[in-house]
């Protein structure tokens, strides 16, 4: 982003990586990546957009929470890259399987936790998606 002359703000919870962060952003906040702190930075910096795909699972979870809480809408922040709905659909196993079913991708049936004595009574071709 910085190479394209886009002003960037980075939230980095790991102060030990400051030497690798300096070239990535115009401004760096060393804060936990939590909805509380990210909203504070959004309120102060008023960005046009946000990337959730940098920062691993923590950033994805935080972004999902901010989206559900209406924070991006409140501050008119566009999510760039992967849409939040796609993140939520791939993070939730049940939703993900439904999406794969929609495009005819076969997935392995998953058995719910059962007592061993009940397991032996299931038919051999039992598929949890049919129940």
Q: Measured in Å, how far apart are the chain's first and last C-alpha atoms?
A: 48
Taking the C-alpha atoms of residue 53 and residue 86, their distance in angstroms, rounded to an integer, is: 12
**pTM score over 0.75:** no
- What confidence tens digit (pLDDT) does each residue in 71-111 have? 999 999 999 998 999 888 888 778 888 888 889 888 877 65
């Amino acid at each position: 982003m910085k190479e394209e002359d886009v002003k960037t703000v980075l939230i980095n919870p790991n102060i030990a990586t400051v030497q690798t962060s300096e070239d990535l952003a115009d401004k760096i906040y060393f804060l936990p990546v939590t909805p509380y702190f990210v909203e504070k930075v959004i309120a102060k910096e008023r960005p046009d957009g946000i990337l959730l795909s940098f920062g691993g699972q923590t950033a994805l979870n935080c972004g999902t929470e901010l989206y559900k809480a209406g924070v991006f809408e409140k501050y008119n922040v566009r999510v760039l890259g992967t849409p939040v709905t796609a993140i939520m659909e791939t993070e939730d196993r049940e939703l993900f399987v439904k999406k794969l079913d929609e495009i005819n991708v076969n997935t392995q049936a998953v058995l719910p936790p059962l007592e061993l004595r009940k397991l032996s009574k299931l038919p051999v071709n039992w598929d949890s998606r049919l129940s």
